[in-house]
Structure 1
Amino acid sequence: MRRLPLVLTTTLMCGAMAAVGLWQERPADPPSSSDNARRDNKPLATGSLPQAIAADQQRLRAAPQDAPAWARLGAEYVEQARLTADPTYYPKADEALHRSLTLVPKDNVEALTGLGALANARHQFAQARDLAVQTIAIAPLHWQAYAVLADARTQLGDDTGATDAVQALLDRQPGTASFTRAAYDLEQHGRTDDAKQALQQALAGAFDPADKAFCQYQIAELDRNAGHPDQALAGYRQALTDDADYTPALAGKARVEAALGDNDGAVRDYDSAIAKVPLPQYLLELGELHQSLGHADQAQAQYRLLDAEQRLAAANGVVDDLTMGQYQADHGDPGEAVRLLRSEWGRRHNVLVADALAWALHRQGAETEALELAHQAQHTGWHNALFAYHRGEIEHTLGRDTAAREDLTEALHEDPYFNPLQAPRAHADLTALTGAP
């Protein structure tokens, strides 16, 4: 497996958090997620972003032919959508960026980069990749385009291409944007210790509170995914100390509070996170927590909100069959889940999609095809407890009990608390397979 040499040896120069908005949240988020550069290559704080938008709107009323200002405004709209989980900003961003491109149709690097980031945010990853490649052909040193390219290739399942794009980003802009992407690439390839070291380097070079919170959060995510909830809780708390408005850390805190048995605290923190940023991931997680606690009405309320958020996103150009496919597989119609996830798989061969489709097929009873996809989901070497659990359950259904025991053991070794509904099932099934009391 090819090493990223700069990850652990380059002197870190921080101060441009997460590709100044070009990054997506990890899909657990995230990543999902997934935004754009502004004039000074620095992310705007949540409070200052509306001011920046208002200032650019005012400028453009006075100077409507200002192509850079239109590109900047489009980038700000994409960032506002990310910060607020409000997809109605995406059409505004699209209009502003195309206005810039109409005014300057040739070599408009900022508009092209912004459109690539917008395409990533809308989960139009092939389009984002093509726009990034087009931008790089014009401006090979424009590092923001490599961030767009890395995100797009990661989501498309182009593992080698994603690593190459991350390396190119490291070569041009060693900093939070590149080191955090490198950490995710390393984690996906099973190199968790290297990933954590890269994030610690990023944190050591960070000076802005938002940068520090972002790095602390990513380190805490690694700790949580490795089954260390106490360490993760300390990391999430530190992230919130660095930046009280960093909502992902609040949701992360809720996850580990649930793992540690503080269900009241978990529900409270999920509610607070959702009130600030109603991401589908948070809604699904809170719904599953309520369901695990026997709160059927509260769980259904979260699932209805999830459906409404997904419909709103689709109405504003977001293409995301993965989230609803995952929901349908566990809480709705497995047949519909398979339909949605086959559509997503047709667009991108990402390991998250492979795992989700494998699980949906298992829920539908198509075990042989499910196992083939479950094995595809593990080809990068990612230590992912949910993947291992899904694989183990599929093998158990097929009567491959030895393999099932190994995979369920792996899932619970990686993270005994990986899901409030499925982790207890993994414990019960493993007990039944081993005959242990």
Structure 2
Amino acid sequence: MRGSNVAVVGAGYVGLTTAACLTSLGHRVVCADVGQKKVDMLRRGEATIQEPGIAALIAEGLVSGRLEFVLGARAAVAEAGTVFLCVPTPMSAGGAADLRALEAVVTELRDVLSPGCVVVNKSTVPVGTAVRVGELLDRADVSVVSNPEFLREGSAVYDFLNPNRIVIGAAGHDLAGAERVAGLYEKIDAPVLVTDSASSEMIKYASNCYLATRLSFVNTIAELCEYLDADIDDVTTGMGYDERIGNSFLRPGPGWGGSCLPKDTVALLRTAESVGSEFPVLRAAIDANQRHQELVVDKVRKAVGGDLAGARIGLLGLTFKAGTDDLRDSPALAIAKLLAAEGADLAGYDPSVRGPVAGVTGQVRIVGTAYHAAHGAAAIVVLTEWPEFRALDWPRMAVRLGGRSVIDTRNHLDPLVLDRAGLSYQGIGRPVSRDGSRKPLPPLAA
């Protein structure tokens, strides 16, 4: 499809990536947000999310004149043939997706959409939402389509332009609208699945919930490895060679989190309950994730002598994954909250967190370097896999530490480097000797 007029409502993580990438595909995009400060920054070409490649695409779009940022949804849709809804759908108090923002935008735009327009749900929404949007619009001349995103933070631009699939769901069997949305992606070489909107919405939830279950599984296997003197790195390498399994989402960590998996797992559970169905596997995955985080805290407690009250702990990494500035449902902060509840004094360093964030990092004193986090600490806990942590001067860290223990929840560090610095290393699912150092591997048979 030749360059089309597209509106994107919402300039958050999904919306901004969608707007910038569609512009790079040759479309003319007007992106709207409700925040004047954010709109002003974007108009100046300043990216408001930390994502590789996004700043360059925004700059190119502004220079070409194909990308525009406006305040308010109504200002974006006047000439749009396709309108992408990329508004937040957070978890409500009861666990279901909160659709108030989405419904408010739909109601706001109902009378200003052009005849023949296609409205696209890009946000993650419960099954049946596309049909609900159609009912709210009450416009026979407007199509509604579900087009879920499958973006990984830290590689969102790459994922948008190089997807492993594009899923498009037509509400009410309106294939013409679905085909028009498919045309927006014609320059991308990827399988396109056109289905009904309910199946499209379920694909997104099923994908995320499967990944969460897989992560809970590998973290539990890592726990068993510690009991049985097996090495989780070797175990997952061996598993990954099996083509039925593959090697993605097989790295143990401090538990899963982020802006998607926690809310999507709970939302799908609530959906199952609403139709009288049970989902014991998914419920077990959620419970296992909580238990795994408690086990991490148990490691830290044991490392400082059995009592966290008053113990100074240095935290390396606060974001939910390296390469982002996203603190939403970060497992690092979940573990920090558990440590603080037992009275630990927490100092945290993250290269993308420059100061305290109200209501988010309250349990942690934010410091400017990893060495400040280590100062006087009884233990260091690595919670996010930032590359700079591997490159630290670990003998210098050892001098600053009050204790000797390093708990590496990402298996990110080199145990030999820490051993040479005189530090006691503990990973996740890695065999350790009684003093906490890495067990030497047995010699290879002749």
TM-score, normalisation: structure 1: 0.29
Report the structure, 1 or 2, having the larger strand content: 2
Report the structure, 1 or 2, having the larger helix content: 1
Q: Looking at CA atoms only, which structure, 1 or 2, has the larger radius of gyration?
A: 2
